[in-house]
Each structure stands twice: as structure tokens, then as C-alpha cells.
């Protein structure tokens, strides 16, 4: 079957089989979006993306479900205001993430920004653990998210003046 959907703001279409996983289809048909497909079992978080505004693990979604959906890849999200605030927050906190999980981390952290000012460290950690990470101390990620919250608040304050 052929499905049409929006990927990072562009109308796209591709042929899929009923058994295809969304992560595999995106990885093979739309490599520029850089959606990963690693464990294919909902564990590693490499296939995280936004689908109609909701965070989903694309390896757990049948590809045909994307029909008519709006998908935002972590790579595109990193270019949004929230994504840039998170990158700046990570840098300020000295969080050095590698290419393996950086885009997915930025996406998760960006979605957390609204609640992070009032969120506990445990809540932030729980959200961040959606992605398996081999390099960064969890406590550093919490500091990175908190720094991003401050940076975003400062930007909004300057904008409102």
C-alpha cells in the first residue's frame, strides 16, 4: 500500500507492507531524517520521533499508521527554538553527548522544558532514560535540562520586554 504523510514539514509518500515497522521505513526510504532503527524492540530509543505531537518509538509503530500523520524527526526538532535551548543548556552544563543519542536526547529534553522547572530530578531522569546512553552520567543530564530551562526562560523574558 502507499501511504502519504508529512515528514519534517514536507509532503512525502512511500510504499509499505502491512508488517513494516515505521522505523525501518523511515531509515531506508528517508535517510536524511536520520531516524535510527537499532534494537527494533522498544529498548534503545534510537527511533524516537514526534508523531502528531506525541513522542513515539517508531519501531513499535506499524508503518501504515503514519498515513496522514505529521512526523518530526529528532534532527529537525534540534533546529527548533526548544531544541536550540536544550543544546545550549547541555553545553552550559558541560554535557558532552555523542552522535549515538544526542538528537533523541534533545527531543526528550525539549519536550520536558515546560514542566522541568517544577519537575523533580527523578522525573527528568525517568524521561531521559527513554534513550539508552553509554557515555553520560544521568546527573549531568539533569543539570543540562535545568540549564536549558533557564536559558529558555531568559530568552522569553528578553523577548517580552
Helix (H, G, I), strand (E, B) or coil at 36: coil
Which residue, among 17, 11, 19, 14, has the nearest Cα to 2 in the 3D structure?
14
136-147 burial: b if 16+ Cβ within 10 Å, else e: beeebbbbbbbb
- Taking the C-alpha atoms of residue 47 and residue 155, their distance in angstroms, rounded to an integer, is 30
- Beta carbon nearer to ligand FES, 144 or 152: 144
- Beta carbon nearer to ligand FES, 37 or 73: 37
Q: What is the DSSP letter of 28?
A: H
- Minimum distance from residue 101 beta carbon to ligand FES (Å): 4
Q: Which positions touch ligand FES (CB under 6 A)?
A: 23, 37-40, 42-47, 57, 59, 97-98, 100-101, 133-136
- Minimum distance from residue 15 beta carbon to ligand FES (Å): 22
- Beta carbon nearer to ligand FES, 46 or 152: 46
- Minimum distance from residue 157 beta carbon to ligand FES (Å): 30
Amino acid at each position: 500500500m502507499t501511504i502519504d504523510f508529512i515528514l519534517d514539514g514536507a509532503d512525502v509518500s512511500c510504499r509499505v507492507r502491512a508488517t513494516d515497522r515505521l522505523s525501518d521505513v523511515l531509515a531506508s526510504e528517508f535517510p536524511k531524517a536520520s531516524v535510527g532503527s537499532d534494537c527494533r524492540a522498544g529498548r534503545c530509543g534510537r527511533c524516537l520521533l514526534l508523531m502528531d505531537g506525541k513522542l513515539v518509538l517508531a519501531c513499535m509503530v506499524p508503518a501504515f499508521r503514519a498515513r496522514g500523520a505529521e512526523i518530526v524527526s529528532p534532527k529537525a526538532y534540534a533546529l527548533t527554538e526548544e531544541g536550540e535551548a536544550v543544546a545550549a543548556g547541555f553545553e552550559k552544563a558541560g554535557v558532552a553527548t555523542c552522535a549515538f543519542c544526542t538528537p533523541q536526547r534533545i527531543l526528550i529534553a525539549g519536550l520536558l522544558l515546560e514542566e522541568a522547572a517544577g519537575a523533580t530530578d527523578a522525573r527528568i531522569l525517568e524521561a531521559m532514560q527513554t534513550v539508552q546512553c553509554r557515555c553520560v552520567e544521568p546527573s549531568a543530564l539533569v543539570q543540562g535540562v535545568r540549564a536549558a530551562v533557564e536559558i529558555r526562560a531568559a530568552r522569553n523574558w528578553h523577548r517580552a520586554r
